[in-house]
Structure 1
């Protein structure tokens, strides 16, 4: 599996009620061994998580199931990450 950095940035129409669903989503991925690290940014503008996936297509598919993306209140961007 490869590593992908998923950035989730709040839009002005962000709904705080989505946060618990987003956190449950990350907990499920963590239980599957798919998320190594996750957390919010200190300025509350969004956050990021490190996702394991077979390729970029799969990483996008997983990230687009995130309630943060589904709600439309967050911009979700996926980067292939070649961590050392």
Structure 2
């Protein structure tokens, strides 16, 4: 059984589009490091989600997410969920 980490991102009322490209660059770096499994936005524009892989623990996943520009630019509220897959 693999452990993945589902990251849910919900835009805050003060969301700024200036956070989008830095966030995409952040995801590209995770993909290049082999730590990003899947990513996508919600069709209603309220946010999106991504799935981290090859991460050692929930604490490590949370530390990665804390560096996401959506967090550092206070554009979205991100929550990490440990996800056990079969």
Shorter-chain TM-score: what band?
Answer: over 0.9
Q: Which position in structure 1 is the counterpart of 2:67?
A: 65
State the alpha-carbon separation in 1 of the partners of residues 7 and 82 from structure 2: 9
Q: Which runs of 5+ in 2 are unaligned?
A: none
Match of 1:76 among 69, 78, 81: 78
Greater than 6 Å deviation, 4+ residue runs: none
Q: Which runs of 5+ in 1 are unaligned?
A: none
- Preserved CA contact (<8 Å) 2:8 2:79: yes
Give the TM-score of the pair, scaled to structure 1. Answer: 0.95
State the alpha-carbon separation in 1 of the partners of residues 61 and 37 from structure 2: 14
Give the TM-score of the pair, scaled to structure 2. Answer: 0.93
Q: Which position in structure 2 is the counterpart of 1:31?
A: 32
RMSD, aligned CA: 1.0
